[in-house]
Amino acid sequence: MTTPNSPSPLRLPLEFNTEEYLNVVDHGVLFVDAQGILRYYNPFCQKLFALEYPSHQPINYFHLLSSWSDSQGLSRLWLIEFDAAMTAQQRHYTRVKHNDDTLEFKHQPLPSGGFVHCIYNITRKAKQEQISALHYSQLQTMIDAMPCFVSLLNTNLQFVIANQYYEQHLGISRSDIEGSYVSDILPPSLKERHMNLLHKALHGETQHFDDQGPSEESPIKFVHGAYIPCFDQHHNVTGIVDITYDTTDQKNQEENLRILAERDPLTGLFNRRKVMECLDLEILRANRQSSPLSVAVLDLDYFKNVNDTWGHAAGDLVLKEFALLCQQQIRKLDYLGRIGGEEFFLIMGNTDQQEASIVLERILSVLRHHTFKWQQIEIHITCSAGFVQWEPTQSNQQLYSLADNALYQAKNQGRDQIVIAT
């Protein structure tokens, strides 16, 4: 570092022959004065424009370009733009085709009023740009064909590329999305969670997510996706690829399969397997909380006569309506299942023997006064029930057996009644 009193650093003399350098460079260099007269051109320009060196007559550079452009069959538009740039003393860049080559003309104004013109052969660069453009077009075609959201984000979390799926399902044009920030596109309900995931992806961690759709109005209700970081050769994150699938149909299918696995297809009640799982949970709860638990088995009386007299369609109607009647008499926290034929199983948590008797009496009473209407026929039917209050030593199978035995006692004692298991 120098101080105010220290001597200036010595500068070695530099011997540099400018013309010698310009004669060997692999691009064209020429100087034009304020009047547009060509004052210097190197061998590249001499060969390109077929000039003599030195020239015997002053050469107007613009006229030279006009003649050369016409001989090459080029549009004069680039000359008009170039002339306007010269007149306005502005920098100007343009590309022209010369035989099989691509030339780039760079015009740089000088303080004296003239300008320097450099001419580069950028054929390889242009071809590489064409290849890159083709690859980009192919990439765009590929991601547009994908049935999901696909995008590339930069490290500022701006969209660089977005496929047509965004436009089709969000109603936002690609031109509006590309360049926008993710925070401007994400729905408010998802913004905080997904911005956290994106910042983790910026630290190099792939983030998977399952979430709700973009809006209540959208047919897309569920999505599954991933934020995948992109790396350079030094393992620095250079961007994030976002791939997000619409999983609404899959979720609906899973829900339908779950319902098929857990529900009785006729009544919509829990099936035998599911209602027994519920009983296991209620036994655990009753044991943990030292609370009462009652279970009952209900069976329609003489139900076979309904099927034999009016057919199975009439029997199905009776079963479905009976299921609804029972659901109307029990609490939402109780479990009701169809365990076979006309037999039903009721689980009443936090319910003792006296409370369970009241619920079952209500069900039987409602059924006695209910009329099942099948076409023009009125059907009346009753129900028998057996129930038991759980004791801490009893398993689910023991409870069911006790309630089922009580049911058979009710049947043997004349039906349309309740028997408590002892």
**345 with 339: CB under 8 angstroms?**
yes
Beta strands 293-300 and 343-349 are antiparallel
H helix runs in 88-238, sequence order: 123-145, 164-170, 174-177, 182-185, 188-202
Beta strands 418-420 and 383-389 are parallel
> CA 131 to CA 113: how far, in whole Å?
40
**178 with 160: CB under 8 angstroms?**
yes
Nearest CA-CA partner of 342 in 323, 363, 368, 370: 323
**300 with 267: CB under 8 angstroms?**
no
Is 167 part of the annotated catalytic residue set?
A: no
Query: Could you give the 3-state DSSP secondary structure of residue 296?
Result: strand
Q: Which residues pair with 95 in a beta bridge?
A: 104
Residue 378: DSSP 8-state: E
Task: Give whole-number Cα distances, 363 to 80, 155, 296, 343, 396, in Å.
Answer: 95, 65, 12, 14, 23
Q: Quick one: angle between helices 272-289 and 248-262, nearest 10?
A: 80
Task: Give whole-number Cα distances, 172 to 163, 240, 396, in Å.
Answer: 11, 21, 57
Q: Which residues pair with 86 in a beta bridge?
A: none
Long-range contacts at 389-396 (CB < 8 A, ≥ 24 apart): 389/292, 389/293, 389/294, 389/352, 389/353, 389/356, 390/283, 390/286, 390/292, 390/293, 390/294, 390/295, 392/287, 394/283, 395/283, 396/276, 396/279, 396/280, 396/283
Q: Which residue has the tokens 């060969």?
A: 47
Catalytic residue among 178, 217, 342, 343: 342
> CA 347 to CA 356: how far, in whole Å?
10
Beta strands 159-162 and 92-98 are unpaired
Residues assigned a catalytic role:
342
